Chain A
């Protein structure tokens, strides 16, 4: 499963560097301040290509969620059934994230969630979410 997970990894960036330290960050446009996720080169609101990384609280609410039963990739097959959520971060952007440490039956639209960190090894920590306890 771990090797298969590496096949899906996007390029390393500040999000993963921060995750290795247990922190969560998102991009903010330097010109207009708009927060966005995932990282992109150019601001969709004002067109500026200057950005910075800002810390986030790690908190959000479930905008929607789905429970996957389909076997589609060895990185995820062992996790079935697993929950993928759309999370409205406190800071504004909406983030898609795998829910871990969570019973699918306990998830609901509007539920509060917090960032969680799935440690694969010393070099790879993947941001996830879980229901707030």
Chain B
């Protein structure tokens, strides 16, 4: 099936402990970098999709992004938020709108600036509203993932060392990525020795926190072939949402909604799991990677621990996953972390970490605490 849309531009700002700029400014720079990457002028953009935590299109602390960027008239514009699933959902919405002729060139952007100087990363995402859950000690999203991981361990015998294998493989990829925030190699023993955050999760089971922004430009597949970069066709799209608010409402705490999300995307693309060359999976926690591998069907439910323990996810392994170092070791830009790396790999621009023959990539996005919203994209190297 010929793709109706492609990713033609990618922009990433400086990432991590970058201070003195707000979310809107990171978003603007990301869009400008993506336009330059594509070889497009700002006035050629007619769509803007925004995933800025806590922000609204026209206000929320000042000038909306459209006006901050000086974009005069847009045919498509909205704020979207399904947590980490949003990056994939934005690309899907852009692709469908382009296919229907509503617009031609859509920027999809995520940015956040949760880190302040002299503040711990943990403080960046804490919950302080008056809720039953906060009163009972649920003060960060990590708690729900710890509950999910513990349940998985109790049901299936998954071990902390097996989660550590994911952290170790991801770090090995990060060591090959100049942009990654964490670039020293990691061993399972070091993972085990890292301090507890919320048992059974160690520090090295949890994502980094980063200030920064990432944007992609989505165009028609035809137009992408005429622009500056190798086109990355969007050949498969899927979503699945179960919508719970906290772990208490999650009827299936041992899994994510990836199964249905993946099935839809793979069917649309006309490919199977075995056709994929590279996986970029949402990895805010090692457990989420493990659960998605099971839920997508790479192994049976409950078998994720033994499946990852042999290191197949890392460089030189049979299932290259999170090849830029993921959210665990590279940078945390919600769903734009796996999406940006997939674009780089499919273009063949991965440098030292380039996976050979990376022509077909699966990108996942997972939102909610614990996972409640899910998106899947299948991206393919565009042919003439």
Q: Which residues of A contact B (CB under 8 A)?
A: 5, 7-11, 37-38, 63-73, 76, 79, 81-82, 84, 86, 94-98, 104, 108-110, 126, 128
Contacts and interface: CB of A to CB of B under 8 A. Distances in A.
Contacts of B248: 37, 86, 94-96
B40 interface: no
A84 to B, nearest CB: 4
Contacts of B253: 63-64, 86
A109 B150 contact: yes
Contacts of B140: 70, 72
4 A-B pairs with the lowest CB-CB distances in the bound complex, closest first:
A109-B154, A66-B146, A67-B199, A72-B139
Nearest to B145: A66
A69 B134 contact: no
A72 B199 contact: no
Contacts of A97: 136
A97 B135 CA distance: 9
B349 interface: no
Nearest to A5: B135
Contact of A86 (B123, B128, B130, B247): B247
A96 B196 contact: no
B133 interface: yes
Contacts of A79: 137
Nearest to B195: A69
B122 A70 contact: yes
Nearest to B197: A70
Nearest to A126: B135
B132 A68 contact: no
Contacts of B67: none
Given A72-B140, A84-B138, A86-B247, A66 B132 contact: no
Contacts of B148: 64
A65 B150 contact: yes
Contacts, number: 100
Interface string B104-145: 000000000000000000110010101111111111101100
B150 A64 contact: yes
Contacts of B138: 84, 96
Given A94-B248, A96-B136, A68 B151 contact: no
A96 B247 contact: yes
Contacts of B128: 7-8, 73
Contact of B131 (A10, A65, A67, A110): A10
Contacts of B81: none
B150 A10 contact: no
B246 interface: yes
Given A10-B131, A38-B132, A70-B198, A64 B151 contact: yes
Nearest to B150: A64
Contact of A69 (B131, B155, B197): B197
A38 B134 CA distance: 12
A96 B249 CA distance: 10
Given A10-B135, A73-B126, A67 B154 contact: no
B258 interface: no
Nearest to B131: A10
Nearest to B155: A109
A13 to B, nearest CB: 10
A130 to B, nearest CB: 13
B122 A10 contact: no
A89 to B, nearest CB: 11
Contacts of B151: 63-64, 109
A68 to B, nearest CB: 5
